[in-house]
Amino acid sequence: MTSEVVENEFEFYSKAEKYWKDVPATVDGMLGGYGHISSIDINSSRKFLQRFLRDGPNRTGTTRALDCGAGIGRITKRLLLPLFKSVDMVDVTEDFLTKAKSYLGEEGRRVRNYFCCGLQDFSPEPNSYDVIWIQWVIGHLTDNHLSDFLKRCRAGLRPNGIVVIKDNMAQEGVIMDDVDSSVCRDLDVVHKIIRRAGLHLLAEERQENFPDEIYHVYTFAMR
């Protein structure tokens, strides 16, 4: 659990904020030098998401999505705006959100809100989102803050809405990364946090065709 590897919570968050302030506001910067995997990532995410958007009695709507840890809007631009009428973005780094306004181009007009906030302090507007997408950012939250944030996300869903987490998974336990001040959890730990938040897992999928040297990446859908 993060309590075993995060010695000072304030330092854990402030060090991460400082790290991201120095990261270039580019796709390569968002992906830690792995910008070339962006299309593989987006295409897999689209397939995963579309199974919930297909016709059916419990179909997830396409009115509004929330991009958490949005950075410059890589996911908003290529995954969410093509599928949803409007998108909100939240990120802790103001420079990234400023860059997003030019990076998103014309379609960026359909981004309603740019929230500059850490997810530990962010509350999605209740009953507002069909999809809340949380990618490569849960490692920046302690277990307690992640569980509490997911509870707030659950309250933020519209009928048949889903919360999606896509992130790195450790082989075993919780691993601290001192460089960007984040943790990487194993599947069991993530499953426990999801259950603790009162969410029910609908689907889970391992990302294919990523470089061998990086962590395994999993996508979870829940409500």
Known binding residues are 69, 74, 91-93, 119-120, 135
Indicate whether this model's pTM tops 0.95: yes
What backbone phi and psi angles, to 5 degrees, belong to 121? -115, 5
Q: Is 204 helix (H, G, I), strand (E, B) or coil?
A: strand
Torsion angle of C-alpha atoms 133, 34, 44, 111, degrees rounded to 10: 40
Question: What pLDDT, in 10s, does the model give residues 49-68?
Answer: 999 998 788 899 999 999 99
Nearest CA-CA partner of 103 in 76, 131, 69: 76
Question: What pLDDT, in 10s, does the model give residues 133-192?
Answer: 999 999 999 999 999 999 999 999 999 999 999 999 999 999 999 999 999 999 999 999
Known binding residues for S-adenosyl-L-methionine are 69, 74, 91-93, 119-120, 135
Q: What is the CATH number of the domain that holds 71?
A: 3.40.50.150
Question: What pLDDT, in 10s, does the model give residues 70-122?
Answer: 999 999 999 999 999 999 999 999 999 999 999 999 999 999 999 999 999 99
Structure-block tokens of residue 170: 């450790």
Number of structural domains (the chain) is: 1
Range of the domain at 121: 2-222
Question: What pLDDT, in 10s, does the model give residues 132-144?
Answer: 999 999 999 999 9
